[in-house]
Chains A and B, each alone.
Chain A
């Protein structure tokens, strides 16, 4: 299907509900490009995807303050602040405790991608709600840090640049080498945008090539409540887990994505009074920038009839960082008549370099 025709199809949905959302992504959240690059799994993420911060998601809220400490000392300071004024903290233990190198990451990516998160809600009445979460990326075949084809291309570009720079450096007089202002001036003249552009192009090519590669992520979270700030009478209040996977489907142009979520919450009498589970399956067909999808969902909530849903739609990357997705669907609760649904979403993500 041509890009023009797909654009027209999207315009035809303008009559339906329009939602705007801004997906502001931090560096750490963007570390795994597959999830954060609005690609195959992204749409499933909206409904079922593994959250970046499970410790926060278990409370279904956003934190005003998120700390991502880089040293053990920063963790202790961060935890202290967290328990006083609330917020969230996330660490990648392997990155924190080891001398991270690219080769060690490539040998044990699972360890380096694992993250621990903690969140504290500290309302004025002294009550403390604490969440904890573990997040694992079990498979990520689209990880650009482990993409061998991209690596070879970039190494070749790097070597070419190194050789040129070496000859240039050796040709500079000592007075220029020892004076930072003169050196900077000469370096500005020497620099060419060619290499930066080649790196960008290689990255983009890898993203296109990898858009439907396998990914499997899992997270688990728990929450506890203390009636006062002494933190002495904590009781476990909730549990949740998420499992999301995406795999190639119908060759290079398709992807099948699933999302599974379960959550339970304890009542004041310590019984489980709120429990829900959901499952979604979505298949994509297209490319990194334009794709259509079919989706079916199931959701069950304790003491309610289960929901079933079916959707068909498409996603279009109109500009770097701007995505439009639209869908038409049908949703049915066991005891009610089916309802038709439609949506048009414009998503804005911070563009990459």
Chain B
């Protein structure tokens, strides 16, 4: 999925917390309440991640995967992945996919947020309807787009035919497949950007605009001199969250193109899946290695996001 939500860190409460008054009994009961979720984190986050790291450091076959006696091979799987001719294209596609999606989701989301920030009849209702693409199951969105982009019977090519453009092989031509999944993913990500940026707009005092209007500032100037600079903290949060969530998009690409044709829409996420599950002869080790590279990238940007958020919370 493109984007999911994240809630405010529990750690932001820290500033109001009296540091000394923690009776021991309260400590005990607090950790009794936390025990289930702590155990859960260890069993269902830490352990799968550990297994994944372990997978990437051993030479697994289907037999040794079941029996668990695969030989330790160090970083061999990572070397294999880096040397793979598919590595370069997958890296490029991941970067292009993420960057293009982010730019368009943000730009469209911002334009819509500014538009819906005006008060007019139905604006709240229509804004709510914009959430629909984000709430639909990804398999639903992906299969709808697949059929709309179908070369022979898709409505997109039918519309292009009307304006005199020949059929585009959206999903079956290597030069268009990446564009197609990017279009679908932008569509899914716009609502998230719209909602976040719209709530950011509401915190900008309206009298600033009135004052600027009195001084003769045009709507264009008001946007670039007031809205955009004052929205910067919210924009940064939106873009970073979008980045973390776009990096790991898998469903859309896999359902629409399976990363093909000929690897033309393969990103790290779909490559990892293809290696691990996509064929009759699974390559669990290299698959896990690709996945771990993705984890490292997601966590790196995730930490930047958390740092930024804490800085904003303190200021």
A binds B: no
